[in-house]
Structure 1
Amino acid sequence: MSITQQYVLDAYRAQRLGQSAPPAPGLHEWQVVREWRDRRAFQAVVAERPARGRLRHTLGRWLHPRPRSTS
């Protein structure tokens, strides 16, 4: 049974019992992603790391490595 079919079945049951319908699947996914991103930024600040641009900085180091000095 797919998620959509399960949602339709749950909505039908809720209507028959006089209850409110459950939230549609995928309705709150962006809110979860935002909260996850905010939590990671907070943890970075607490650990005294930059909260923004870490991925770009890392990719830049991989794509454009600095030449090693020969001492």
Structure 2
Amino acid sequence: MNALHQYLFDTYRAARLGEPMPPAPGTQDVAVLRAVRDRRRLERATADRRPRGTVRAALHRWLHPAD
């Protein structure tokens, strides 16, 4: 059973019992990724380490080490 099947079962059950509908799968993904990013930045700041920049800059450094 995948996430979509579980979501369909949950919405059916919620409709029968008069409960609020569950959120669709994937609706909170961006918020979770932002929270993880903010948490890592906070941990770096409290560990007295300099933030290293964005993911894009890190990928650029990794892909172009001679630049």
TM over 0.5: yes
Deviations 1:8-32 (A, max 9, x none): 1110111001111111111111111
Name the Cα RMSD after superposition: 2.4
For the residues of structure 2 that align with 1:24 and 1:40, how far apart are their CA atoms?
A: 27
Kindly state the Cα deviation for residue 57 of structure 1 after the two structures are TM-superposed.
6.2
Aligned to 2:65: 63
Deviations 1:20-54 (A, max 9, x none): 11111111111111011011111111112122427
The range that moved more, 29-38 or 49-58, is 49-58
- Normalised to the residue count of structure 2, the TM-score between the two structures is 0.76
Aligned to 1:69: none
For structure 1, which runs of at least 5 residues remain unmatched after alignment? 66-71
Aligned to 1:38: 38
Report the CA distance shift for 1:54/1:4 in structure 2 as closer, same or farther (over 3 A).
Answer: closer
Name which one, 1 or 2, has greater alpha-carbon Rg: 1
For the residues of structure 2 that align with 1:10 and 1:23, how far apart are their CA atoms?
A: 10
Q: Percent identity?
A: 39
Indicate conservation of the 8 Å contact 1:42/1:51, yes or no: no
- Normalised to the residue count of structure 1, the TM-score between the two structures is 0.72
Amino acid at match of 1:63: P
